[in-house]
Amino acid sequence: MKQLLTLVTILFIACSSLAQPNSLKDQYQKVEKMIPMRDGIKLFTNIFIPKNQTEKSPFLIVRTPYSCSPYGEQKYPRQLGPSQLFANEKYIYVLQDVRGRYMSQGTFEEMTPYKSEQKPASASNESTDCFDTIDWLLKNIDGNNGNAGLYGISYPGFYASSALPGAHPALKAVSPQAPVTDEFEGDDAYHRGAFFLMDNFSFMNDFDHPRDTPWMKYPSIFEESKDDAYAFYLRLGPLKNANTYFYNKSKIWNEYLEHDTKDAYWQARDIRQHLSGIKPAVLVVGGWFDAEDLFGALKTYEAIEKKSPGNNNKLIMGPWTHGSWSRSEWSKFASLNFGENTNKYYQQKELEFFNFYLKGKGKSNLAEATVFETGSNKWKEYSAWPPKEAVLKNWYLNANHQLSFTKATAPGNVSYTSDPANPVPYINTKGSGRNNEYMAADQTFASERADVISFTSPVLQKTITVSGPVSADLFITTTSTDADFIVKVIDVLPADAMDASGKKIGGMQRLVRAEVLRGKFRNSFTIPEPFKPGQVTNIKFNLNDVAHSFLAGHQIMIQVQSSWFPLVDRNPQKFMSIPKAEEKDFQKATIKVYYGNKYPSQIKVLTTE
């Protein structure tokens, strides 16, 4: 398993790595408390109080489903706070096991739905649990200055987001980082209705063992051993066969498969709809190479902008994988070299954000949007995201596998056959788990397959910079009643290109962005529709945003395919509930992608050329 950062690993990186020069035990008094919530449930909480209280300190809180260990008042983590820069800052650090996880009481619920009415005990949710925690801390922990901040990466990022509506008045600064946000449209469970098989199979094995009582460690549900994930999941067969491993022990896995449309289950868990009237200052953080929650960071920022237009809401997007901004150094990824330690730049801004809003110390000169632009390797600051100066451009699919910047006129199509028995791999390497380098990997292996079609631009005479959303607008036919569509935006490197280690990589087809749409959700995520075989159909869907410069001398390539395995589960290419599919339901399909004046298949981008 190569560079796969699980959510548990991210919490470890964020909260307990990188040893400090002085013992935390010498600097902080640790107390463990069971903090009561309004419905009587008590949440296990570790509190670290500065021993040198020459000044009153704010609270800085992480609420997590991944354990606030180590447990025991004499046991300390190796780091407190989001980065090493907080080592010399006086904060009262608070780590809490959320409801129903590890040493906290109660029943855990996946992405606990928000309830707007907060007074009755029955209305307890993550917002009220955070509210009640802060209220208790203010009244029971001496030496506090009356302010609280909250942050978290991934699932803890969701708990940061969910504390925003109905926030406690003392909650002044919140940083949702790679927050899980909408698990059907773009985070973790499904992407645009397509189930992310490999990630969830492994994650739920270690995360969702049933719990009868609070405990310090969760066991795995089953023994998992595989050297070749592609071969393993192909042998597994239809999605329903996964129960030979889970034996119905994972409640969340069962919920994921039971709710294979964006029904009331998923709608209730979309925190975006509640992000109105937000009062704390917000810093949303995400990574362009985040294989888990890139969607969540972008869409959380977007939702706050739309629903709370007066809020002090900022966005930072860097060239990071899931949570890698919490490491001490990040200057390279895959074949990319960013030319600097991007974490040094970010972590200083993060420290200034919390110091300013929680201590009134220093300044916070964050731009509305601070983004790292790959390709050019430059930090850019904008007064809005997407940038106000960005211009809509269309890239047209054309004859002879060409990508044109002017509209194609001659009609035509390119066809391929999608075979569920031989799905397109998501990466050209063998491994036991998901390799997050796929987000910047060479796609030459895919362009050589007969079931992947490619369209390539001429060599660029000038740099083209894409800054903002990317959307696909395709005209297709299929011989089946359902199909997936994966669209990739690729930077084709010139002959003299070198990778981060100095190795020649000329001609590499480096992935910039890719996304999948399960075709039956082309018009609605709640009401799926079959394709009519042979009928030309327009499908439109959004890829995640991009901040990338395609440099002069490079080429732009667009790839289209209908499988992405085992990242995404196999579509039987038959209109049905896929979790109920049998082996006999899987069938080949011939797919045509049209171009020309009548059916102008295209990719829409925003450019800041």
Q: Say what the pLDDT of residue 499 is.
A: 83
- Helix, strand, coil shares, percent, the chain, to 5: 25, 30, 45
Helices (H), 383-490: 444-447
Of 360, 163, 370, 423, give the one whose Cα is nearest residue 274: 163
The pTM score is 0.95
Q: Per the CATH hierarchy, to which homologous superfamily does domain 7-182+269-316 belong?
A: Alpha/Beta hydrolase fold, catalytic domain (3.40.50.1820)
Q: Say what the pLDDT of residue 117 is.
A: 62
Cβ neighbours of residue 373 under 8 Å, at least 6 residues apart? 379, 380, 465, 467, 547, 548, 549
Q: Say what the pLDDT of residue 12 is.
A: 41
Other C-beta atoms lying within 10 Å of the C-beta of residue 553: 15
Helix axes 7-16 and 155-162, enclosed angle (nearest 10):
70
Of 340, 305, 301, 303, give the one whose Cα is nearest residue 317: 301
Mind listing the pLDDT tens digit for each residue in 32-57? Answer: 999 999 999 999 999 999 998 889 99
For residue 314, what is the enclosing H or E element?
strand 313-318
d(CA 367, CA 599): 41
Mind listing the pLDDT tens digit for each residue in 231-260? Answer: 999 999 999 999 999 999 999 999 999 999
More confidently predicted of 262 and 18: 262
Q: Say what the pLDDT of residue 8 is.
A: 43
For residues 458, 463, 467, 470, the Cα torsion angle rounded to the nearest 10 degrees is 0
Tell me the Cα Rg of the chain: 24
pLDDT of residue 7 exceeding 50: no
d(CA 310, CA 278): 9
More confidently predicted of 451 and 118: 451
Mind listing the pLDDT tens digit for each residue in 576-592? Answer: 999 999 999 999 999 99
Mapped to the 3 state alphabet, what secondary structure does 463-509 carry?
A: CEEEEEEEEEEEEEEECCCCCEEEEEEEEECCCCCECCCCCECCCCE
Mind listing the pLDDT tens digit for each residue in 402-458? Answer: 999 998 889 999 999 999 999 999 999 999 999 999 999 999 999 999 999 999 999
d(CA 305, CA 313): 7
d(CA 134, CA 167): 10
d(CA 444, CA 508): 7
More confidently predicted of 503 and 352: 352
Q: Say what the pLDDT of residue 88 is.
A: 86
Q: Say what the pLDDT of residue 272 is.
A: 97
Kindly report the average pLDDT of the chain as a whole number: 94
* Mean pLDDT along residues 305-322: 96
Q: Say what the pLDDT of residue 261 is.
A: 98
Q: Say what the pLDDT of residue 22 is.
A: 57
Task: Work out the angle at residue 469's Cα, subtended by the Cα atoms of residues 304 and 553, and round it to the nearest 5 degrees.
Answer: 145
| 369, β-bridge pairs | 315, 382
Place of tokens 């890239």: 395
Query: What are the tokens at 36?
Result: 């009561």
Place 10 in a pLDDT band, splitting at 50, 70 and 90. Answer: very low
Q: Say what the pLDDT of residue 122 is.
A: 64
Q: Where are the domains of the chain?
A: 7-182+269-316, 391-607
Q: Percent of the chain beyond pLDDT 70?
A: 95
pLDDT of residue 98 exceeding 80: yes
Q: Say what the pLDDT of residue 247 is.
A: 93
In this structure, whether the domain defined by 391-607 belongs to CATH 2.60.120.260 is answered with yes
Q: Say what the pLDDT of residue 1 is.
A: 34
d(CA 536, CA 92): 61
* Mean pLDDT along residues 514-543: 98
Q: Say what the pLDDT of residue 500 is.
A: 76
d(CA 440, CA 438): 5
* Cis peptide preceding 179, ω within 30 of 0: no
pLDDT of residue 153 exceeding 60: yes
CA distances from 178 to 65, 152, 272, 307 (A): 15, 8, 14, 20
Q: Say what the pLDDT of residue 21 is.
A: 43
pLDDT of residue 18 exceeding 70: no
Place 498 in a pLDDT band, splitting at 50, 70 and 90. Answer: confident
Place of tokens 């036991």: 432
Place 501 in a pLDDT band, splitting at 50, 70 and 90. Answer: confident
More confidently predicted of 179 and 123: 179
| 567, β-bridge pairs | none
* Mean pLDDT along residues 80-84: 96
Q: Say what the pLDDT of residue 120 is.
A: 59
